[in-house]
Amino acid sequence: MSEVHVHRVKDEWKKDALIDAATYEKWYQDSITDPEGFWREHGKRIDWFTPYTKVKNTSYEGDVSIKWFEDGVSNVCHNCVDRHLEKRGDQTAIIWEGDDPADDKKITYHELHEQVSKLGNVLKSNGVKKGDRVTIYMPMIPEAAYAMLACARIGAVHSVVFGGFSPDSLAGRIEDCKSDFVITADEGLRGGKKVPLKANTDKAIEIAEKAGAKVRNVLVVKRTGADVNWVDGRDLAYEAEMEKASAECEPEKMNAEDPLFILYTSGSTGKPKGVLHTTGGYLVYASMTHQYVFDYHEGDVYWCTADVGWVTGHSYIVYGPLANGAITLMFEGVPNYPDAGRCWDVVDKHKVNIFYTAPTAIRALMGAGDDYVKRASRSSLRVLGSVGEPINPEAWEWYYKVVGDEKSPIVDTWWQTETGGILITPLPGAIDLKAGSATKPFFGVQPQLVDNEGGVLEGAASGNLCIVDSWPGQMRTVYGDHERFIQTYFSTYKGKYFTGDGCRRDEDGYYWITGRVDDVLNVSGHRMGTAEVESALVAHPKVSEAAVVGYPHDVKGQGIYCYVTLMAGEEGSEELKKELVAHVRSEIGPIASPDKIQFAPGLPKTRSGKIMRRILRKIAEDDPKALGDTSTLADPAVVDDLVNNRQNKK
Ligand code: PRX
């Protein structure tokens, strides 16, 4: 193993930090020995119309039931908007930075209140009721945040679908949660390129309706002004609807356990799952982690570069920061447009204090050279964050030294769509850093490492990462399929939440996430099931069978390596490879583009027909010497062909 770089908490980071080392230790102990008392206190950080008397009612056994603050009544939009009006109504809530560097605007809390209230009324007057599912398929424009908050305000449940997903993927998500209202834009704009969101929506609705879904309305925001197809009676122009709407819209009284949103995410098998988060616990957890992990102080400018289509955008662009009355920056573009210095230019332009991004972006920008960084002063930066995949120590050190000038701590935050908020992370003023480690658990989080048989590992060890007790931000169910929730997360290791990640704990009790131990890929921080890519490939008429594995990729973290067996009589060619790449992109979206395709006359299978992925992974990693025992294969000879024709030979 490479040498571990330890960076002690500096005096400047301790100064004014919200949490120091002693407070971290004390609060952490309290949160574990008396979760009820700890969260009874911290649940008060949000406003409740009716205060809760019950705090924690959770069980990982049997039917698995997770309830927090269950008799409390609140509203997420009230907490993110209305409650700030008196104290900071004229303060900026959202700084929007457009794709074009000349395009930006600021939205105050007063303006945000007006917009979300009007939009809440637009939704209501078009028949959206409490509990209805609204699909949001939007570019990174303020209207995306308004849409989420307006749903929360009227008690509708939003399902945000990343704007990079294909019509097919969007259709599947509309169908699964029986959503009959879609909010989109004419087109998106990213890196100077247009994304045909309305056209994709039209196609998706056609696909979904063939499968029995019914979409009543599509509300279309004008972003580029492109001429788009219009279905009279179904499509509604956002601007015209907002014009008519009143700005008085009382936030709905929501029980703490009423659903707030559904967000689809990939697992090792089957279709993406609708992860369901609820109102009270989610907001308490998102806001508390946002404040302490980023050491957020009043007036700080905070920028998370994620897209609202992912959970990071939900918890750390919209809900966490706005619940804290923060100034949150929303960026429409990409880090390398117009050039690789964009992020640092934006940091200077808006005096960003806290910057949160993904390792894949850090590696890509590192590759572009230091000059892009150095042309900006970055003097406003105080805290840097990382999320989405393991960060390699080289990228960590570059981020720390070159971007942060060794002045800003890096919080490497480990969490998942399912966890609602950050679970393992340093706190800037409290926890010494080790490059590449997510360090220590947040308050209330009890990680445990187990071996493959479920045996608990103590002390320094490597194993499968479980969490032994609930925290308020935890998902409550898989939408419409509670059995799948139990099976996926609580059946591998009875009575524990299994994360799907492998992890090492060192002698100091620091956690080092090593990546997924299941068939989930993490490509540029985007989570994807190998089964999803495989089913996209076999949907192509020339493909008879496919097996997909990940392999280490310098920038993306993992690349997508596809073994494809063609139908009898079909020939593999470079042309066909291109066709298959295009096919996967159109089935799932560009994020699922295969990096390597190998035509394979046969796949290594056991005698019972199970594909031996271990072997495919080793070949994809260009490590054929480590294939191990192949004698249990039905036809060991297929391996030689695969090894000889591997696409990753160094
Ligand atoms: O494998 C872990 C990885 O991303 C997975 C969760 O993906 P998703 O639900 O899309 O959420 C991503 C943003 C929270 C995890 O199971 N992951 C996330 N953060 C880290 C990470 N791996 C290592 N270090 C991290 N900081």
CATH number for the domain including 19? 3.40.50.12780
Q: Is residue 99 part of a domain?
A: yes
Question: Which of 468, 466, 465, 489 has the alpha carbon at shortest distance from 477?
Answer: 489
Same domain as 400, residue 359: yes
Tell the residue number behind the tokens 């002390």, with chain if given. 459
Centre of ligand 1 from the C-alpha of residue 164, in Å: 19
Amino acid type, 449 = L
Q: Is 414 in the pocket of ligand 1 (CB under 6 A)?
A: yes
Q: Is 516 in the pocket of ligand 1 (CB under 6 A)?
A: yes
Instruction: Burial-class residue 613 by CB neighbours within 10 Å (0-12, 13-18, 19+).
Output: middle
Query: Which atom of ligand 1 lies closest to the CA of 526?
Result: 10
Q: How do strand 133-137 and strand 157-160 relate by DSSP bridges?
A: parallel
- Of 311, 391, 414, the residue with max ligand 1 atoms within 8 A of its CB, to mutate for a pocket test, comes to 414
Q: Is residue 183 part of a domain?
A: yes
- Cβ-Cβ contacts under 8 Å for 34 (sequence gap 6 or more): none
- Cβ-Cβ contacts under 8 Å for 84 (sequence gap 6 or more): 91, 93, 109, 325
What 3 state SS string does 381-426 have? CCEEEEECCCCCHHHHHHHHHHHCCCCCCEEEEECCHHHCCCCECC
Q: What angle do CA 559, 604, 390 make, to 5 degrees?
A: 25
Contacts 24+ apart (CB under 8 A), 399-404: 399/362, 399/366, 400/7, 400/435, 402/366, 402/370, 402/373, 402/374, 403/344, 403/355, 403/362, 403/373, 403/378, 404/378
Contact 628, 579 (CB under 8 A): no
Question: Alpha-carbon distance 245 to 75, whole Å?
Answer: 21
Bridge partners (DSSP) listed for residue 384: 355, 410
Tell the residue number behind the tokens 């594909």, with chain if given. 611
Residue whose CA lies nearest to ligand 1 atom number 25: 414
Q: Which of 476, 504, 532 is the last residue of a domain?
A: 504
> Could you list the residue range(s) of the whole structural domain that residue 585 is in?
524-645
Bridge partners (DSSP) listed for residue 258: none
Q: Was 646 annotated as part of a binding site?
A: no
pLDDT for position 1: 47
Same domain as 275, residue 371: yes
Instruction: Burial-class residue 342 by CB neighbours within 10 Å (0-12, 13-18, 19+).
Output: buried
The residue ranges of the chain whose pLDDT is under 70 are: 1-2
Q: Is 522 in the pocket of ligand 1 (CB under 6 A)?
A: yes
> Count H helices, E strands: the chain?
22, 33
Q: Is 413 in the pocket of ligand 1 (CB under 6 A)?
A: yes
Q: Was 390 annotated as part of a binding site?
A: yes
Same domain as 335, residue 418: yes
Q: Is residue 515 part of a domain?
A: no
Q: Is residue 519 part of a domain?
A: no
Residue whose CA lies nearest to ligand 1 atom number 4: 388
Q: Which of 470, 504, 538 is the last residue of a domain?
A: 504
Q: What is the largest CA-CA distance in the chain?
A: 74
Centre of ligand 1 from the C-alpha of residue 265, in Å: 12
CB half-sphere exposure, 390, CA atoms < 13 A: 22
Question: Alpha-carbon distance 539 to 534, whole Å?
Answer: 9
Same domain as 575, residue 457: no
Same domain as 212, residue 142: yes
Q: Is 357 in the pocket of ligand 1 (CB under 6 A)?
A: no
Centre of ligand 1 from the C-alpha of residue 457, in Å: 22
Q: Was 277 annotated as part of a binding site?
A: no
User: Which 3 state secondary structure label does DSSP give 513?
Assistant: strand
Instruction: Burial-class residue 67 by CB neighbours within 10 Å (0-12, 13-18, 19+).
Output: buried
Q: Is 439 in the pocket of ligand 1 (CB under 6 A)?
A: no
**Model-level pTM greater than 0.90?**
yes
Q: Was 610 annotated as part of a binding site?
A: no
- Could you count the other beta carbons within 10 Å of the beta carbon of residue 139? 27
Q: Is 388 in the pocket of ligand 1 (CB under 6 A)?
A: yes
Q: What angle do CA 341, 346, 347 make, to 5 degrees?
A: 100
Q: Was 543 annotated as part of a binding site?
A: yes
Same domain as 396, residue 474: yes
Domain count, the chain: 2
Question: Alpha-carbon distance 311 to 421, whole Å?
Answer: 8
Contact 53, 67 (CB under 8 A): no
Q: Is 512 in the pocket of ligand 1 (CB under 6 A)?
A: no
Centre of ligand 1 from the C-alpha of residue 518, in Å: 13
Same domain as 578, residue 490: no
Question: Alpha-carbon distance 546 to 325, whole Å?
Answer: 49
How confident is the model over 222-252, as pLDDT tens digits?
Answer: 999 999 999 999 999 999 999 999 999 999 9
Q: Which of 504, 533, 549 is the last residue of a domain?
A: 504
Centre of ligand 1 from the C-alpha of residue 557, in Å: 12
Q: Is residue 510 part of a domain?
A: no
Same domain as 458, residue 578: no
Question: Alpha-carbon distance 282 to 556, whole Å?
Answer: 30
- Of 357, 389, 422, the residue with max ligand 1 atoms within 8 A of its CB, to mutate for a pocket test, comes to 389
- Could you count the other beta carbons within 10 Å of the beta carbon of residue 384? 23
Instruction: Burial-class residue 336 by CB neighbours within 10 Å (0-12, 13-18, 19+).
Output: middle
Q: Was 360 annotated as part of a binding site?
A: no
Q: Is residue 439 part of a domain?
A: yes
Backbone angles phi, psi at 625, to 5 degrees: -70, -20
Q: How do strand 511-516 and strand 477-478 relate by DSSP bridges?
A: unpaired
Is the predicted ipTM greater than 0.90, yes or no? yes
Same domain as 488, residue 559: no
Contact 380, 355 (CB under 8 A): no
Same domain as 563, residue 420: no
Q: What tokens appear for 116 in the block?
A: 């979300």
Contact 323, 79 (CB under 8 A): yes
- Cβ-Cβ contacts under 8 Å for 33 (sequence gap 6 or more): none
Determine what percent of the chain is predicted with pLDDT higher than 70: 100
> CA end-to-end span of the chain, whole Å?
22
- Of 417, 513, 514, 591, the residue with max ligand 1 atoms within 8 A of its CB, to mutate for a pocket test, comes to 513
Q: What tokens appear for 16 in the block?
A: 């004014």
Centre of ligand 1 from the C-alpha of residue 390, in Å: 8
Centre of ligand 1 from the C-alpha of residue 201, in Å: 28
- Of 363, 424, 501, the residue with max ligand 1 atoms within 8 A of its CB, to mutate for a pocket test, comes to 501
DSSP 196-227: -HHHHHHHHHHHHHHTT----EEEEE-SS---
Centre of ligand 1 from the C-alpha of residue 416, in Å: 5
Residue whose CA lies nearest to ligand 1 atom number 26: 414
- Cβ-Cβ contacts under 8 Å for 383 (sequence gap 6 or more): 294, 295, 353, 354, 355, 408, 409, 411, 428
Q: Is residue 107 part of a domain?
A: yes
Same domain as 167, residue 298: yes
Backbone angles phi, psi at 591, to 5 degrees: -65, -20
- Could you count the other beta carbons within 10 Å of the beta carbon of residue 197? 24
Q: Was 82 annotated as part of a binding site?
A: no
Q: Is 390 in the pocket of ligand 1 (CB under 6 A)?
A: yes
Q: Is residue 518 part of a domain?
A: no
Backbone angles phi, psi at 203, to 5 degrees: -65, -45
Query: Which atom of ligand 1 lies closest to the CA of 413?
Result: 26
- Cβ-Cβ contacts under 8 Å for 424 (sequence gap 6 or more): 413, 414, 415, 438, 439, 440, 441, 442, 445, 447, 511, 513
pLDDT for position 270: 84
Same domain as 583, residue 445: no
Say which CATH number the domain at 616 has. 3.30.300.30
Q: Is 513 in the pocket of ligand 1 (CB under 6 A)?
A: yes
Residue whose CA lies nearest to ligand 1 atom number 18: 388
pLDDT for position 40: 98
What 3 state SS string does 289-343 have? HHHHHCCCCCCCEEEECCCCCCHHHHHHHHHHHHHCCCEEEEECCCCCCCCCCHH
pLDDT for position 2: 55
